[in-house]
Amino acid sequence: MSNEAKAFIAPRASHVARHAADKSPSRVTRHALPYFPGCALKDQARGFERAAQAAMERLGYELAELPRWNCCGTVYSLSSDDLMRHVAPVRNFIRVQELGERRLVTLCAMCYNTLRRSARFVSTDPERLQRINAFMDEEPDYAGGVEVLHLLQLLRDEIGYEEIEARVERPLYGLKVAPYYGCMLLRPREVGIDDPDRPETMELLFEYLGAEAVDSPHKVECCGAYQTVANPEIARERVLEIVGAAARRGADLIVTSCPLCTYNLEHHQLSVPGDASHVTGDKSSTRHALPVTRHVIPILYFTQLLAFALGAPGEELGFEQAAVDPRPVLAQRVGG
Amino acid sequence: MAERIGGDALRVTRDVGIGATDYPSRVTRHTLRISSGEPDFVRRVEELSGEDVFACYQCGKCSAGCPFTSGMDLLPAEVLRLLQLGDERVLSSRSPWVCASCLACEVRCPKGVDIAKVMEALRLLILRKGETGLTWREIPPGVPQIALVGATRKLTP
């Protein structure tokens, strides 16, 4: 992290005032961070947001929802001439700027990637930014400089895993967790939060929480993403490989950092009938027409497992929305 | 073999291996015209993507790591090769529509070619004519908006 960024996160007067009103003796400061939810965290994935709020509160932070935020655009435009696709991200950056803030935290890997790449795209060429500003004539100009962060970066680089470990109330001893990164947190390299082929951000986090991290060869491979709409069979094939590899290595559950990955993993793993092994894949393609065993394991968001380990009560964990209930395996392994 | 066909243009005829499933034949005889410029659609792909398709030296790393090849008629490296050859068959390939911009190829290309951008440019050539890559009778039930917005942004005009 840059010194500039470090200076920005130093406690400020408003945080001290907030702390004075906070009765909890365990909280030293309370940082309010501008937070960009995006569509998923406000709809089918709202339990992941609730869990994030619960976890961050226990770590002395508040995720303060960005006023008047709008859709990030979901997917980053890969075309050189498509300035229009950067209007939505830039409008969000203007909201951050209006707060006098410099950072924007997301929980969603898709939002993270789209916003972070757009911030980079407009900051590397003043002429592009000037054209976008001119187009949005009802808005103040965006001056540049907003830094987009995924919550995992904040946990790792600013709060630190040792600090998190010190606040664990339910250590995850005995639990085997397979982290699944997917694409958008790691690629391209210039916005990736870790090594694109050998990330360990989540492995370390869950080890500090007491769990055993299970490595899987498919943890950085695409889940099928939006192809789940047009070509669900492709997404299904991806998911069965990903879930099968984690399950065969003994994972009790898979932990994700993207709501779309979560949906795909949950949805498509359940598409294999439970009665017997059978053949999946495109029947015309011999390469993938292999027998597939049904593997069904719980898919949790990283915020859920973090909040669980930090002792958040059941109603703040969102476990009830999971397609495969994680509570039995957590009770069995951890005694949750 | 190569023959001079007037001015500084050469015609090179060679066998080009095409290894994808379902492609008309596994070896196609190809005529490569080396002249003062590549076809317009190749130039347009390079403009839209900002990538140099001639940088590719066919190592195949993109194709080896691509998680979507089972649904593709051309492997990613073959898409680049046909672009280098100015072969219009690349315009009717299914591969750019199966690519999900996961960027596994992008981080691994030893020549720094962002193949996902090339795939996006190939989609845009079609989409900007008003054609769509997404046909659905109904929105699949339960699919979250994050997928719907992603699919419509990548696959429709």
Query: Which pLDDT band holds residue B139 (cuts at 50, 70, 90)?
Result: confident
Check: CB of residue A71 under 8 Å from CB of residue A106. no
The percent of residues above 70 in pLDDT, for chain B, comes to: 76
Check: CB of residue A51 under 8 Å from CB of residue A41. no
In a shared domain, residues A267 and A137: no
Which domain CATH number covers B130?
A: 1.10.1060
Which domain CATH number covers A41?
A: 1.20.1050.140
B148 touching A (Cβ < 8 Å): yes
B103 touching A (Cβ < 8 Å): yes
Among candidate residues A151, A186, A219, the one where a domain is terminated: A151
Domain limits for position A281? 168-333
In a shared domain, residues A84 and A202: no
B144 touching A (Cβ < 8 Å): yes
A328 exposure class (CB count in 10 Å sphere: 0-12, 13-18, 19+): exposed
Domain limits for position B15? 2-155
Q: What is the pLDDT of residue A5?
A: 43
Number of structural domains in chain A = 2
So what's the ipTM on this one?
0.86
Rg of chain B on CA atoms, in Å: 17
Could you read off the pLDDT of B88-129 as tens digits, one per residue?
A: 999 999 999 999 999 999 999 999 999 999 999 999 999 999
β-partners of residue B33 are: B11
Q: What is the pLDDT of residue A29?
A: 60
Whether A2 is in a domain gets the answer no
Whether A266 is in a domain gets the answer yes
In a shared domain, residues A114 and A256: no
Whether A213 is in a domain gets the answer yes
In a shared domain, residues A316 and A253: yes
Q: What is the pLDDT of residue B32?
A: 54
User: Residue A310: what are its φ and ψ, rounded to 5°?
Assistant: -80, 0
Q: Which two tokens stand for residue A4?
A: 């500039």
Question: Backbone dihedral region of A312: left (phi > 0), alpha (psi from -120 to 50 degrees) or beta?
Answer: beta
In a shared domain, residues A282 and A315: yes
Check: CB of residue A234 under 8 Å from CB of residue B71. yes
List A residues 144-183 in contact with B (Cβ-Cβ < 8 A): 183
In a shared domain, residues A101 and A173: no
Inter-chain contact A226–B100, Cβ cutoff 8 Å?
Answer: yes
In a shared domain, residues A62 and A204: no
Of the candidates B37, B39, B15, the one whose C-alpha atom is nearest the C-alpha of residue B28 is: B15
Check: CB of residue A222 under 8 Å from CB of residue B103. no
Q: What is the pLDDT of residue A140?
A: 97
A46 touching B (Cβ < 8 Å): no
In a shared domain, residues A317 and A226: yes
User: Residue A278: what are its φ and ψ, rounded to 5°?
Assistant: -155, 180
Number of structural domains in chain B = 1
In a shared domain, residues A141 and A266: no
Of A80, A187, A263, the CB nearest to B49: A80
Of the candidates B57, B4, B62, the one whose C-alpha atom is nearest the C-alpha of residue B34 is: B4
Inter-chain contact B107–A110, Cβ cutoff 8 Å?
Answer: no
DSSP letter at A249? T
* Residues of chain A found within 8 Å of residue B135, distances taken between Cβ atoms: 230
A74 touching B (Cβ < 8 Å): yes
Dihedral sign for Cα A268, A271, A273, A279, please.
negative
Q: What is the pLDDT of residue A30?
A: 74
In a shared domain, residues A206 and A271: yes
Which domain CATH number covers A249?
A: 3.40.50.11810
In a shared domain, residues A61 and A204: no
Whether A103 is in a domain gets the answer yes
Residues found in chain B: 157
Q: How many CA atoms lie within 13 A of A1 on its CB side?
A: 19
Question: Backbone dihedral region of B89: left (phi > 0), alpha (psi from -120 to 50 degrees) or beta?
Answer: alpha
Distance between CA atoms of B154 and A231, rounded to whole angstroms? 13
* Residues of chain A found within 8 Å of residue B108, distances taken between Cβ atoms: 197
Check: CB of residue A266 under 8 Å from CB of residue A48. no
Q: With a cut of 50, list the residues of chain A below it in pLDDT.
A: 1-27, 276-286
In a shared domain, residues A102 and A195: no
Could you read off the pLDDT of B2-43 as tens digits, one per residue?
A: 555 555 555 554 444 444 444 444 444 455 555 557 789 999
